[in-house]
Amino acid sequence: MTLIKSISGIRGTIGGKTGDNLTPVDTVKFAAAYGTWLKKQSAGKNLKVIVGRDARISGKMIQELTMNTLTGLGIDVVDLGLSTTPTVEVAVPLEKADGGIILTASHNPKQWNALKLLNSKGEFLDGAAGAEILKIAEEEEFDFAEVDDLGEISVIEDYIEKHIDEVLKLNLVDAEKVSKANLKVVVDAVNSTGGIAIPALLKRMGVKVVELYCEPNGHFPHNPEPLKEHLKDICELVKKEKADFGIVVDPDVDRLAFIDENGEMFGEEYTLVACADYVLSKTPGNTVSNLSSSRALRDVTQKHNGKYEASAVGEVNVVHLMKENNAVIGGEGNGGIIYPESHYGRDSLVGSALFLTFLAENGKKVSELRNEYPSYFMSKNKIELTPDIDVDEILRSVKEKHSKEEISTVDGVKIDFPENWVHLRKSNTEPIIRIYTEAKSQQEADDLAQKMIEEIKSIIA
């Protein structure tokens, strides 16, 4: 597997040859590049970096390598241990740190891990910073500290609880109201750190919790991407337990999906739609999601007299446009909720708390709430590639074939047909082409996706 380097960090599989996988040598090199970049920004000040990890089997090894590399550069480290991506993001400004590193490969299988890099605001790095770090790594421009100037490691073990405290302080989160609603929720945390964070949050809000795969041991019981085909167990358990709904998170807890009381998917796209509906009803304003997200957010935003904008895919792009448009909520259709009142990062704790408050306030069943929103259906597919395939040439060919349609090339190729759309883009984190379609029925969306897959295969052939 090729080691994937991008502006947001470095990702790869554990083991194998240096330069082809995320080996200890590659981990040290890229941690050193990030630390060196921080030192260049600091003008000689003492630096502090927050480091946390999800529950992957390789996490402890990668974290020790990362932290010791930073201290070798003379940078102090705050070790959060088992944590979540949004927890590290929250911790960076609260601890007045200069940056942060989250050790997680997000929804990728257990053999993967990654270093995800944050700036002093606890936000993902922009393109310029990421490119500079990759250049430093390539040229190995490292200058390590002498023995008297080594950094130190301190440990904070309860930062998830601190994160929950911050969530419960939000004006639109009402734990007392949720507690009075007597809700029962099943949680599937794919045996990662969401098994620590989400049940703890729900219990603080007075919710009865049924835990499924909440042991943070890194042995994922199913594919960790929270898609319908991977979630049979929680769908069945929600019905068996007669729960009000189910919550599913990915290994680093920045993606959030719901299961309704009938054991049916609420729809990952509609996580953001529902949370936005609630937030906009209390604080009217604008919203942002990416080009691959559902038109339903646009419809809900316009219902509340707000303005909707679409960014290129990628959290940093969504955040940039949210700041430009003063969006009150935004995110990505994969279940990523970004609520600026808390912080500019996808946060499943914030999303869960907002959704719970919304339910407690309106008294509706989750299925009833879903039925109130415009019915769009999405199909999310991907084609695995080999290193010798020219992805850009594939996308150019598709664009030329559909040149008579409305096309956006802001991020990959998005083709807007009169009744549906398809978005093709190469992933920044995996060697694949992602294919997103949306239509007015699931069959139509699936058929459009399969048509595009066959079209791409014919180009490759």
Residues 6+ apart with CB under 8 A from 223: 109, 229, 230
Question: 268-282 and 348-362 helices cross at what angle (nearest 10)?
Answer: 60
How many angstroms separate the CA atoms of 107 and 116, rounded?
13
Kindly give, in sequence order, each residue whose CB lies less than 8 Å from that of residue 427, ignoring residues fewer than 6 positions away: 382, 433, 434
Q: Report the C-alpha gap between 90 and 344 in whole angstroms.
A: 9
- Which residue in 8, 58, 83, 106 is the catalytic one? 106
Helix/strand number for the chain, H first, E second: 15, 20
- Is residue 292 part of the annotated active site? The answer reads no
Residue 256 φ then ψ, to 5° = -135, 125
**Which residue type sits at 442?**
Q
Other CB atoms within a 10 A radius of the CB of residue 242 amount to 8
Cβ-in-10-Å burial (0-12, 13-18, 19+) of 180 comes to: exposed
Q: Would you tell me the crossing angle of helices 268-282 and 296-303 to the nearest 10 degrees?
A: 10
Tell me if residue 172 falls in helix, strand or coil.
coil
In three-state secondary structure terms, 304 is coil
Point out which residues pair with 406 in neighbouring strands.
416
Give bridge partners of residue 424 from the DSSP assignment. Answer: 413, 435
Hey, which residues are catalytic here?
106
